[in-house]
Structure formats: structure tokens, C-alpha cells
Amino acid sequence: MSDDSGMTTPALSDRLSITALAISLIALVIGVSSFLQAILGTAEGYRRCASSVIGPWSKLRRRVFRWSEFRYETRFQAPLIKIVTRLEYNKLSNREHAGNIYLLNEKIDDDGEKPPKQRSWNPWHRYDPRDILRQSLHLTGSLSGEKQLEPSRAEDESVLLDDALGDTDPKLGRTMTRIERHQAKQSKRANARDTLLVSWIRLMHELHVVCGKYWPNEPCHEECNGSDYDKTFRSPLVATLRGERDFYGRQWESSARTRVAVIIMEWTWDFMPEDVTRPLAYSTIGHVVVLAMRLGMSWRNLDRTKLQLSADGNGRSITSTDVKNMGIVLAFSATGSFDFKGLDIIPSRAADKMMCGILPGDPDLVQRGDADSIQRDFSLVNLDRKLIQLWETDGVYRQIGLELPRSHTVESRDRCTHNEVVTLLSSFLPLPGSKLRGFLFSGWKRSQYSTFHFFEPRLQYLTTLRATQQRSVRMQAVLQILEHLSSDFKYAYYGGYVRDKTAQTSSPEHELSLTEFCAKQFRETTIYFKEHGYDIKPGNAPGTWYMQLVAAHAQLSAYVEKDTDHIKAFGRDQIPKDIRDLFEAEGIDSNYFSSALWTQVQLYVDGLDNAQYGVVQYMLFRGFVDKARERSEGDPQDIRDAWWTLILRGILWDMSCDGRPYPGEPVASSYFSDETRVWFT
């Protein structure tokens, strides 16, 4: 209302003021929200780190305001997956990755100490990375808080999983969660958002499950935890030869226990290429190659020059795509049933090398090069993924100083020589206290065909020593060890061809006792060779005197194998009577008899002193003198004793581990040490 003079009443003025104020506040809210939306919208990639994409890892994403640019940036955390030894883990956890590195399915002592107090409050510190890992390794479904256990696809057994990070109190025992086997229709009841999850979460879960298969078959933690080196072999005598620390250091190089580690890395989305739509985890080609084979996959395509990598098998697959400005981006998928059989691979650095066709040389007796660049390993697979013949230019023969006539290097004739050289140069594979005996190796020639592997030559070695009238003290010691193996471990010594049915049922404890016995005697052979100077480098030949002894045996084997290549095997009815009587006395039951291997051992013994290709002549010609004898020149008997110790060493190595059929085409040896970065989407 207004009066005649046109003046506004106070009531109307108040209403207009309130309306204007409301409109101003609304405009202010809209302006502020638009401003905040614009500012927060500068945090590019924040929505791409949501829980539907990276699961519980989304709790670790955050926006950070950059005042110099007056904008937000998105920071997120993703894993770096590596294979580490205890020494490497200690270095990483004490230096650049302190507090951010965790071992999958590893039992760690809980000392009850409280975490260090933060100097300033940070809302993101309330998220423990260990909890994030637990959720990503154990949960399925929406990953939004529902504690639904991941169903196992093991068909024949339920899987026992340790706590993901193993912070169980060892005094109370290992806390284990039983993952029951679900029906197929139940396993399909997954939230639809799981299809958006990054593949590296599934990869970590599968690695966690496989690592869980290593215990309780893995070495005892009391021996390995808290030390600078993995104390692979405990021997006071060996430790005093060159010092305890030095000995353990060399053992770490070839036989260290390896574990799968997850390092939590923080990234900013500003440096992600435009083609990347989801956060990426990363690793290296060398680690991925080994991890894929530990999961039961075989590599179909492996070409780093073309940025093409693909592997599949055991219900798992890895495929690669080329992302601009990123390099190789891999995607992991698990589509089929998972079979744990055959995955009981020894978790050691030496076994990892053998997967890539690398022969890990013995850390005490095998070394090449000078003191600044000692090399102990031999590459046996070239870039074309073909086996390198030992007699080729870059083969093992040249590296150990052996030159053979071309007629004795025919590819079809040297399989026994090839496999025996590989066995004698290799380091001991099983870890102390572990029941795991399996390994994958593409360096064999027609499986493990050798006089160390089959029961016929083992029986012939034993029979020959028994029949020797004048045995030296060392030969008598070798005979006693072979007698012990053939009696207490008859089933393993004769390859299962035994008549006694009770000997065929071998318990895990019995297998462990066999492995420990072989490890002890193998260690004693190392001590013998070191005491007699076989770890010393000769002045006129490459490598050590032990490598020269192996070369001498290889020459003997090459000449002998050429003469036995034409001998065919016998059936049960064709086995000579004296050998059948020997089978009867030893309790052997076999329908097959390899006459070639039996004859080869006979020719080995007869050819030890051969002037053309004998082991004794080979070593004496190069000037070997036994360090333990007070002589000015070599003695043939010392070399014979060393050769019988070498044979014992090969049998012990072969009986201590079980070779698994190598899946697919061999992997080039150079890929093992390839540090090229690869990403997982």
C-alpha cells in the first residue's frame, strides 16, 4: 500500500529487502558452488579413482591444492609389484620405501609396538595401507565394506589363507582363515561393478593365494628373519673357510628365498597420458615373466621390441596393449578354474633364474671373470627362444675352456653330456627346512636324461664301487653314501622301480628327510672340493679347477655317448640274466632296461685313465695339483677320487629336487634381468 504522496510503507520495504537479501544469498551460494566446482573440477582424474574402479584403494586418493597454480591435483596410490629376497626387502624397507613395502602372505613378528605419532593431523592417515591390502586381497562383491570372502576355485581342496600381511603373533600360532569352496552358481554372484575393477587387484589376490601354498612348506622363519643374509646352508666348517658373512653373501646371490612384495607408490594424475582412464600399477618385465610362470601360465608372445607380451594357462591370462607415452600396458584376467598342482615351485632366486633358462652356477665352485666382475650364471636360451647348444660359440663349453671335435657335438648325440654338465654346474636348489622340491627349467635337452637321473646308471655306479677291490678312503665314503641312499631312500634312488610296496608310500616327512640328507652330503662335497683346491682359478684355463673337472667329465661323456648312441633299450624278456639277478637282489621291478646308460657308466669308469679323452689326463695336462697333498705334481688317484665325488654330487642334486614339465616355449634368458617398466591396468 502507498499513500497519496507515493511513499512506500515500511512493511513493503522490509519485504523487498528480505527478497533482495534472499536472492543475493542464493546468488552467492550459486556463485560459491560454481567457483568451488570449477576449482575442484581442476582435480582431473579424481572420479577415475573411485571405489568402483580401484576398490578399497580409493580411500587413498586425495585432492591437493597447489597455490602456485590455484588449482587442485589428484593424488592416488597404486602398488609396485616386485620379487625380493630378504636382503632386498631390508634395504627397501630401511631406505626409500620405509613403511610402504609389504610381503604377500608373509608371517611377520608382531612386537606390539605402537606406530609413530604423527606431528600434524592428516585425515588420510586414518587409512592403514595394510587394511587396504587386506580388503583388496580377501574381499569381493562391491568392495564397499561388505566382508564377503573371495570364493576359492580350487576344485579338490579348500585353501587356507594366511592373514594378508601376516601380523599374527607367532606365540599364539598362525591365524588362518578357511576359505570354503563355493558352488559355481554362487561364484557368479558378483556385483556388476566388479567388471570395472582394475586387473591388478585380481593379480595381487592370485599371487597372494599362490604364496600361501608355500607355507608351511617354506623354510623356518627363525633361520631367516632378522639377518642380513638368507642363511641357506649352516655349516661351521664352510663358514670358517672364508668368513661367515662372505659365505652367506655368496649363498644369497644364488639361493636366496624370494617373496612377492607390494610397494605402495603415490602418483599424481597430472602425469597420466590422455589414453589412460584408470589408475595403473606397475612392475618390470623380469618380475612379470617369473610371476606369470609361478601362476601356471606360459608365455605365448614375448617381444619387448614390438611391445607385445601375452601369456595364458591355468585359467589365467595376461595381454598387452600399447598406450601412447606409456609403453607396455598389461591386463590380467582370471577366467577359468585354478589348479594348484605343479605350482609347488621352490621360492628361491635360483629357481626363478631357471624359469628363464639361466643356469645358476654354484656360489662356491663356479665363477668366471675377475674379482670386480665375477659371473656364476650361464644363459642357455637366446632371444629367438631357442636352446643354446653347449658347443656353440657362446655356449657353456667355451666358457669352461672345453674344445671338442665337431663329430662329438652332434645335436642328437650329446643330450646326456649336456644334461650332466648342467647338473654339475648348478647350485643346490631346495631351501633348508622346506618341503618344496619343484622347479621349471627349459635348459634340459630331452628332459633330464643323464646317468644321474635314471635307476640303471645309479645301480651301475653302486655296483662298480662295490666290485672295486682297491678303494681309496674317498671312494669308500662315496660308496657308503650311495649305500645309504639305496637302502633308506630306495624308492627315490631307483626312480620308483621297486618291488617293496611299503617303500612306494613316501610321506612328506620322509621326503623332507631325503632333501635334508642330500643337502648335507652336497654341502660336504663342496667342502671336499674347497679343501682340495678346486675353488682356485688355474693360470692357463678359464674358471676354477672345479669347472675344469666338469669339462673333463664332459669330454669323457661326449666320447662315450658317441659310442653308446646306437644301443637300444631292452624289454623285460631281453634283460641279461646277471642283470635280472641284480634286480632281484636289490628288489627292483622294471619292464624296461636302458642298456645305453648302463654301458655308458661302464665306459666312464674304463675311460678315466684314457690317454685321449680321460679325466685324469685332462686334469694332469693342465697342471692340477691337489692342494691337500704335499706333492709337487698331480696324482691320478686324487683325480679319480674327485671324479667319484663329482658323480655323487650329481646324484645328490638330482634326487633333491623334482623337475616340472616346462610350459610352452622357453623364455629368453635376457628377460630375467630386464628392468623395462610395464604397467597393469
Q: What is the DSSP string of 136-162?
A: HHHB-TT-SS--PBPPB--SSSPEEEE
Residue 513 lies in a domain: yes
Instruction: Tell me the C-alpha distance between 623 and 616, whole Å.
Output: 11
Residue 152 has pLDDT above 60, yes or no: no
What pLDDT score was predicted for residue 523?
95
pLDDT value of position 295: 92
pLDDT for res 158:
28
Q: Which of 667, 408, 643, 628 is nearest to 531 (CA)?
A: 628
Give the pairing type, strands 298-303 and 316-323.
Answer: unpaired
How far apart, in whole angstroms, are the C-alpha atoms of residue 229 and residue 390?
Answer: 33
Residue 52, pLDDT score:
86
DSSP state of 661: P
The verdict on 326 and 458 lying in the same domain is no
DSSP assignment letter at 178: E
8 Å CB contact between 651 and 517:
no
Report pLDDT digits (tens) over 379-419: 999 999 999 988 887 889 889 988 877 655 555 567 899 99
Other C-beta atoms within 10 Å of 72: how many? 18
Q: Is 30 helix (H, G, I), strand (E, B) or coil?
A: helix
In order of 98, 151, 223, 294, 312, the CA distances from 163 in angstroms are 21, 16, 21, 21, 28
CA distance 314 to 293: 10
| 107 and 142 housed in the same domain | yes
Question: What is the sign of the dihedral through the CA atoms of 284, 285, 287 and 292?
Answer: positive
pLDDT surpassing 60 at residue 153 = no
**373 within a domain of the structure (yes/no):** no
- Model confidence at 7, pLDDT cuts 50, 70, 90, reads low
Block residue for cell numbers 616340472: 660
Band of pLDDT at residue 445, cut at 50, 70 and 90: confident
pLDDT tens sequence across 284-318: 999 999 999 999 999 999 888 888 899 999 889 99
Distance, CA of 577 to CA of 599 (rounded, Å): 16
Shared domain for 507 and 550, answered yes or no, is: yes
Express each pLDDT in 163-188 by its tens digit.
Answer: 333 333 333 333 333 333 333 333 33
Region 460-469: mean pLDDT is: 94
- Residue 239 pLDDT > 60: no
Asked whether residue 303 falls in the same domain as residue 415, the answer is no
Give Cβ neighbours of residue 228 (< 8 Å, ≥ 6 apart). Answer: 87, 90, 245, 248
pLDDT at residue 115 greater than cutoff 70: no
Q: pLDDT value at position 407?
A: 59
Q: What is the pTM of this model?
A: 0.80
User: Cα-atom radius of gyration of the chain, to the nearest Å?
Assistant: 33
Cell digits of residue 5: 504522496
Asked if residue 17 is part of any domain, the answer here is no
* Structure confidence at residue 271 (pLDDT): 80
- pLDDT at residue 77 above 60? yes
Torsion (CA) 236, 241, 246, 252 in degrees, nearest 10? -60
β-pairing verdict for 677-680 and 570-571: unpaired
DSSP one-letter string for 36-89? HHHHHTTSTTSGGGSHHHHGGGGGG-EEEEETTTTEEEEEEEEEEEEEEEHHHH
Tell me which of 168 and 63 has the higher pLDDT. 63
Check residue 243 and give its pLDDT: 40
CB atoms within 10 A of CB 91: 14
Residue 120 pLDDT grade (very low, low, confident, very high; cuts 50, 70, 90): very low
Does any domain span residue 30?
no
Q: DSSP assignment, residue 480?
A: H
Strand partners, 177: 161
Confidence bin at 94 (pLDDT 50/70/90):
confident
Contact 258, 85 (CB under 8 A): yes
Distance CA 630, CA 460 (A): 34
In this structure, is residue 456 part of a structural domain? yes
pLDDT of 190 reads: 39
The whole-number average pLDDT for the span 225-241 is 37
**Which cell goes with 80?**
609396485
What are the cell numbers at 391?
658347443
**Same-domain status, 521 and 446:** yes
CB atoms closer than 10 angstroms to residue 602: 15
Of 187-191, 210-214, 450-454, 491-495, which gets the smallest average pLDDT? 187-191
**pLDDT score at 568:** 64
Q: How far is CA 272 from CA 73, 276, 451, 653, in A?
A: 12, 6, 57, 50
636 or 324: which leads in pLDDT: 636
Indicate whether 338 and 435 sit together in one domain: no
Helix (H, G, I), strand (E, B) or coil at 550: helix
Please give the residue that has the higher pLDDT: either 228 or 658.
Answer: 658
Q: If DSSP codes are grouped into helix, strand and coil, which group holds residue 567?
A: coil
| End-to-end C-alpha distance for the chain, whole angstroms | 71
Own/partner long-range contacts of 143-152 (Cβ < 8 Å, ≥24 apart):
143/51, 143/55, 143/56, 143/193, 143/194, 143/197, 144/51, 149/177, 149/179, 150/179, 150/205, 151/179, 151/180, 151/181, 151/182, 151/186, 151/187, 152/179, 152/180, 152/181, 152/182, 152/209, 152/338
pLDDT score for 249: 45
Region of poorest pLDDT, from 35-44, 177-186, 481-490, 662-671 = 177-186
- Top pLDDT among 377 and 231 is at 377
Residues 581-610: pLDDT tens digits?
Answer: 888 888 888 777 888 889 999 999 999 999
Average pLDDT rounded to a whole number, residues 367-386: 82
Q: What is the mean pLDDT of residues 27-43?
A: 76
| 271, amino acid identity | F
What SS3 state is found at 214?
A: coil
Q: Is 396 helix (H, G, I), strand (E, B) or coil?
A: helix
Q: Which domain holds residue 552?
A: 389-665
pLDDT score of 464 more than 80: yes
329 assigned to some structural domain: yes
More confident residue, 610 or 628: 610
In a domain, 661, yes or no: yes
459 DSSP 8-state letter: H
Cell numbers for 119: 606431528
Q: Within this chain, do residues 339 and 398 fall inside the same structural domain, yes or no?
A: no
Q: Residues 414, 294: one domain?
A: no
Inter-CA distances, 154 with 111, 184, 210, 341, Å: 35, 11, 11, 10
Q: Do 177 and 163 form a contact (C-beta atoms < 8 A)?
A: yes
Give the mean model confidence (pLDDT) for residues 474-489: 95
Q: Is residue 366 part of a domain?
A: no
Q: What's the average model confidence in pLDDT over 214-227? A: 48
User: Of 87-96, 336-345, 465-474, which gets the smallest average pLDDT?
Assistant: 336-345
Q: What is the pLDDT of residue 343?
A: 79
Longest dimension (CA), the chain: 145
Task: Indicate the pairing of strand 316-323 with strand 327-334.
Answer: antiparallel
The answer, yes or no, to whether residue 244 has pLDDT greater than 70, is no
Specify whether the CB–CB gap between 74 and 61 falls below 8 A.
yes
Same domain, 528 and 435: yes
- Residue 119 pLDDT level (bands cut at 50, 70, 90): very low
Same domain membership, residue 185 and residue 94:
yes
Average pLDDT over residues 539-546: 86
Map 599-622 to HEC letters: HHHHHHHHCCCCCCCCHHHHHHHC
DSSP code at position 290: H
φ, ψ of residue 51 in degrees (nearest 5): -65, -25
Whole-number mean pLDDT of the chain?
78
Q: Are 303 and 282 found together in one domain?
A: yes
Domain count, the chain: 2
Asked if residue 491 and residue 521 are part of one domain, the reply reads: yes
Region 489-507 average pLDDT: 77
Average pLDDT in the 257-263 region? Answer: 91
The strand pairing partners of 492, in sequence order, are none
Share of the chain above pLDDT 70, in %: 75
For residue 78, give every residue at least 6 positions away whose Cβ sits within 8 Å of its Cβ, in sequence order, or none. 54, 57, 200, 264, 265, 267, 279, 280, 281, 282
> Rounded distance, CA 49 to CA 182, Å?
31
